[in-house]
């Protein structure tokens, strides 16, 4: 077994699926761990292993190692570095919590998560910018929805929201036009890959281990008589990697993102809710035109459609992203327009939930695909908000793939979903199967929720 890789850092209502964990509680582990150091005496054996080195997995690892310094923890990640996929392919917006149903878990976690994230960044020298956000109504039909958004944001506890008219829009964004807008001054931008890797360093600095290049493809359970190490501790769960790696632990938590359904299936869980990848293609404003916008410019969401719509997003490096569209990804980690995986495509199209979703939103989906190939069509949508934008001002930019959980009726799963391993691993593997947007903004508050669930179940 290779030594753990040290990773360098670059600068509502929760659903609980399956039986409660009813095995020996973690409190007994903590008592035994008092007698030995934080590092396990066997380098490949840990009290808890977190599968998935994205922002949710790393935030969870950080929270657990903070709360339980006498337990041993490890993170296993299939890529060669942390936060490669969703955490490293997103718009980088720190959301304030305006959009979500008042009283919902998403609203609570986002508002709390924003405060926790800003505090963490201040304390750990992670750069960010509070550049604000305008949600702009460009026609009369959108104004009632905009007013409802304002009330929703206030009810959620979002700070300092205010309404501005057309002249007020110009004061904030000189090139933006609209009848009316809601302005959120505490919306910010950040590089979430830097954030996630900072969580990873924090975790390692406190004794956690990180294994990269470790793609889990099997969970085994060993009899207690065969799983005790020479220090007398029992590690019944074995995680096996695709390349033959082995890590043992008492309990595992999976935060698999785009592969959360397949990882859950490895421990005997049902595939549903199924993960379907939706790719969002961005345009990139040419550097000489970057001064067209100062902050985030967003549309008023249309409840008829499942996704938010195009927007303007400045980036920490000075770039400005425009878009995205939202189309089915024919590869779960397919960031290029023509990326294709036969397995992923067949898996998605064979799922009745996706077929039902596609049937309901066929016209929307066709338009989104068209805009993915036709840059001019995407620019036309963006010109509603910044008429000065021209086709020659943009180039094709990056893309991200969103792990969207769907049920068999084609409904987007908007809740957090947890599941427990079945069969031999029953009670020893907890799956975070869905951590919906804005999971990056809410990562620290989500981590607290996951840690609370572990402690509550095990009476830690």
pLDDT (mean) for 412-422: 88
- Indicate whether 125 pLDDT > 70: yes
pLDDT, tens only, 343-363: 999 999 999 999 999 999 888
- Indicate whether 8 pLDDT > 70: no
Residue 336 burial class via C-beta count within 10 angstroms: exposed 0-12, middle 13-18, buried 19 and up:
exposed
Nearest 5°: phi and psi at 379? -60, -40
Which residues have a Cβ under 8 Å from the Cβ of 257 and sit 6 or more positions away?
Answer: 52, 54, 56, 85, 86, 403
Q: What percent of the chain has pLDDT over 90?
A: 75
pLDDT (mean) for 441-455: 92
- The beta strand positions in 212-259, using DSSP E, are 216-221, 237-241, 246-254
CATH of domain 15-86+193-273+415-458: 3.50.50.60
Q: Which helix (H) or strand (E) holds 167?
A: helix 166-172
Q: Which helix (H) or strand (E) holds 258?
A: none
Selection from 5-9, 118-122, 400-404 with the highest mean pLDDT? 118-122
Architecture of domain 275-295+302-408: 2-Layer Sandwich (3.30)
Whole-number Å distance between alpha carbons of 82 and 137: 39
Give the pLDDT confidence score for residue 3 in this predicted structure: 44
**Would you list the domain boundaries of the chain?**
15-86+193-273+415-458, 275-295+302-408
- Indicate whether 227 pLDDT > 80: no
What tokens does 206 get? 């406190």
Instruction: Give residue 305's pLDDT band: very low, low, confident or very high (50, 70, 90).
Output: confident
How many CB atoms sit inside 10 A of residue 302's CB? 14
With beta carbons less than 8 A apart as the criterion, state whether 364 and 372 touch.
no
Give the pLDDT confidence score for residue 415 in this predicted structure: 83
Give the pLDDT confidence score for residue 456 in this predicted structure: 72
- Indicate whether 370 pLDDT > 70: yes
pLDDT (mean) for 29-46: 48
With beta carbons less than 8 A apart as the criterion, state whether 138 and 178 touch.
yes
- Indicate whether 4 pLDDT > 60: no
Give the pLDDT confidence score for residue 36 in this predicted structure: 33
Give the pLDDT confidence score for residue 26 in this predicted structure: 43
Q: What percent of the chain has pLDDT over 70?
A: 87
Q: Are strands 216-221 and 237-241 parallel, antiparallel or unpaired?
A: antiparallel
- Indicate whether 115 pLDDT > 70: yes
Tell which wins on pLDDT, 238 or 415. Answer: 238
Using alpha carbons only, give the angle 379, 382, 383 rounded to the nearest 5 degrees.
85
């Amino acid at each position: 077994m290779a030594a753990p890789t040290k990773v360098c850092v670059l600068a509502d209502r929760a659903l609980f699926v399956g039986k409660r964990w009813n095995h020996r509680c973690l409190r007994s582990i903590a008592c035994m761990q008092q007698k030995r150091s934080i590092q396990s005496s066997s380098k490949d054996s840990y009290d808890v292993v977190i599968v998935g080195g994205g922002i949710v997995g790393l935030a969870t690892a950080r929270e657990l190692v903070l709360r339980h310094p006498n337990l041993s923890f490890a993170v296993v990640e299939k890529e060669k570095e942390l936060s490669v996929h969703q955490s490293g392919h997103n718009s980088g917006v720190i959301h304030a919590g305006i959009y979500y149903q008042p009283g919902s878990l998403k609203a609570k976690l986002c508002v709390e998560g924003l405060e926790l994230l800003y505090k963490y960044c201040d304390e750990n020298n992670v750069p960010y910018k509070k550049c604000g956000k305008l949600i702009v109504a460009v026609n009369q039909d959108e104004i009632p929805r905009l007013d409802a958004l304002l009330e929703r944001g206030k009810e959620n506890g979002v700070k300092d929201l205010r309404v501005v008219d057309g002249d007020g829009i110009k004061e904030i964004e000189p090139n933006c036009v609209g009848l009316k807008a809601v302005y959120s001054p505490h919306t910010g931008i950040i590089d979430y890959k830097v954030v996630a890797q900072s969580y990873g360093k924090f975790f390692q600095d406190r004794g956690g281990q990180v294994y990269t290049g470790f793609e889990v493809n099997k969970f085994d359970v060993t009899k207690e008589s065969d799983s005790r190490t020479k220090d007398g501790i029992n590690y019944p769960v074995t995680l096996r990697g695709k390349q033959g790696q082995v890590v043992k632990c008492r309990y595992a938590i999976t935060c698999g993102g785009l592969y959360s359904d397949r990882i859950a299936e490895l421990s005997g869980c049902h595939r549903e809710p199924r993960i379907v990848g939706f790719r969002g293609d961005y345009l990139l404003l040419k550097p000489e035109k970057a001064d067209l916008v100062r902050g985030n410019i967003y549309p008023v969401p249309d409840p008829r459609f499942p996704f938010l719509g195009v927007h303007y997003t400045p980036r920490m490096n000075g770039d400005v992203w425009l878009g995205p569209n939202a189309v089915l990804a024919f590869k779960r980690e397919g960031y290029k327009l023509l990326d294709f995986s036969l397995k992923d495509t067949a898996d998605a199209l064979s799922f009745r939930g996706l077929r039902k979703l596609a049937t309901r939103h066929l016209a929307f989906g066709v338009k989104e695909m068209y805009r993915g190939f036709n840059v001019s069509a995407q620019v036309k949508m963006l010109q509603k908000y910044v008429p000065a934008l021209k086709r020659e001002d943009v180039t094709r930019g990056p893309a991200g793939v969103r792990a969207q959980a769907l049920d068999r009726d084609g409904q987007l799963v908007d809740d957090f979903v947890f599941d427990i391993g079945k069969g031999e691993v029953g009670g020893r593997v907890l799956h975070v199967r869905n951590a919906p947007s804005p999971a990056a903004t809410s990562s620290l508050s989500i981590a607290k929720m996951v840690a609370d669930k572990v402690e509550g179940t095990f009476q830690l």
